[in-house]
Amino acid sequence: MSIWLNQFFDGMPIWTAYIALPLIGVIAGFVNTMAGGGSFLTLPALMFFFDLSPKAANATNRLSVLLQTGTSTAMFHKHGFTDIRLAFKLLLPALCGSTLGGYITEILPADWFSLVFGGAMLTMAIVLFFKPRLLLATDRHPMQNPAGEFFTFFLIGIYGGFLQAGVGLLLLVGLTMFHPKDLAKSNAVKVTIAFLQTFPPIAIFAWHGQIVWGYGLLLALGTMTGAVIGAKFAIKKGAKSVFTFVVIVAILTSIKLIWSGLSAIA
């Protein structure tokens, strides 16, 4: 039994995983609620503290994403915020994109994946740094371009399938461009799409044996708890410093990944 448990947790002392992963998850879940970008904390933790490869960390992190967004989706739907018709309309291109993104993750060689993964994370961190929430105004006129809408959410889906970190912000920007609503209703549609588009990448990663299930489940337990804590306290004071910390961690992690990828390829 102990041998099986050690394999389940990829060789890490079980007590360490039981304590550390939920704590990291709580922090990430709290950050997601307060400022956004919790995956920019869980991904470095899985890679550097738990010694997972970038591919394994990316895959394992999806379990916490799936359960956290699933919980949020259920809550929004329960309170009548979700525009189901709109969510499923945008889900088709997002699902197609996330499936392709997950497939790209698997076919990229490990060294190239580190390079591309780091580049994508750095780009998203820079976007976060320049406060794209200014793009989320709800008083703008919606764009009437069905082809552009499909392509936009297809690209967002690719990013979500490949990296996921920060995809919620991209979904909000896309929704604001084509279907501006108040923030609560946009968030309801966003988490519904984010939840459902996570299934194809998880299936792909599981098929290829990339997910460390024990880590993912413990992390998910923490992120869901952290999200509840963040929602209850909802303290605006200090959110800026938390947000800045997340961006700094993301930038440092991306630089490390890019450097590792370039060193291996050279």
**Given this model, what pLDDT does residue 122 score?**
82
Region 145-166: mean pLDDT is 90
Query: Which DSSP symbol is given to 263?
Result: H
CA angle 98, 243, 175 (to 5 degrees): 40
Percentage, residues of the chain above pLDDT 70 = 77
The token pair at 162 is 């490949």
Region 252-262: mean pLDDT is 75
pLDDT tens digit sequence for 54-86: 899 999 999 998 988 888 888 778 878 788 999
pLDDT tens digit sequence for 82-100: 889 999 999 999 999 999 9
The token pair at 206 is 């599981």
Of 40-49, 86-95, 117-126, the least confident: 117-126
Contact 67, 220 (CB under 8 A): yes
pTM of the model as a whole: 0.80
Quick one: pLDDT band at residue 237, thresholds 50, 70, 90? very low
Distances (CA, A) of 143 to 24, 140, 148, 155, 180: 40, 9, 9, 17, 9
CA distance 252 to 178: 34
Quick one: pLDDT band at residue 234, thresholds 50, 70, 90? very low
Q: What share of the chain is helix, strand, coil (3-state, %, to 5)?
A: 80, 0, 20
3-state class of 82 per DSSP? coil
* Residue 199 scores a pLDDT above 70: yes
Could you state, in order of their start, the residue ranges of all structural domains in the chain? 21-265
